[in-house]
Amino acid sequence: MRIRAKQLLPLWGQRMLKQFWKYFQGAVLFGIYLVGWVPSHHFRRFFYRHLFGVQLGSGSIIHWQTRFFQPNNIHIGKYCNIGNNAFLDGRRGITIGNFVATGSEIMIYTLQHDIDSPTFEVTGGPVMIGDYVYIGPRAIILPNVRIGIGAVVAAGAVVTSDVPDYAVVGGIPARFIRERRHDLNYHPDFAMPFQ
Q: What is the pLDDT of residues 110-169, one digit of tens each?
A: 999 999 999 999 999 999 999 999 999 999 999 999 999 999 999 999 999 999 999 999
Instruction: Quickly state the pLDDT bin for 8 (edges 50, 70, 90).
Output: low
Taking the C-alpha atoms of residue 109 and residue 15, their distance in angstroms, rounded to an integer, is 28
What is the number of structural domains in the chain? 1
Angstrom distances, CA of residue 66 to CA of 41, 91, 170 = 12, 16, 23
Taking the C-alpha atoms of residue 58 and residue 184, their distance in angstroms, rounded to an integer, is 19
Residue 60 counted as domain residue? yes
In three-state secondary structure terms, 22 is helix
The CATH number covering residue 157 comes to: 2.160.10.10
Active-site residues, by number, are: 113
Residue 148 counted as domain residue? yes
Please report the pLDDT score of residue 17 as a whole number.
76
Burial of 67 (0-12, 13-18, 19+ CB in 10 A): middle
Residue 184 counted as domain residue? no
pTM, 2 dp: 0.88
Task: Note down the domain range covering 174.
Answer: 9-179
pLDDT surpassing 90 at residue 191: no
Residue 195 counted as domain residue? no
Residue 2 counted as domain residue? no
Q: Are 98 and 131 in contact (CB under 8 A)?
A: yes
Residue 36 φ then ψ, to 5°: -65, -15
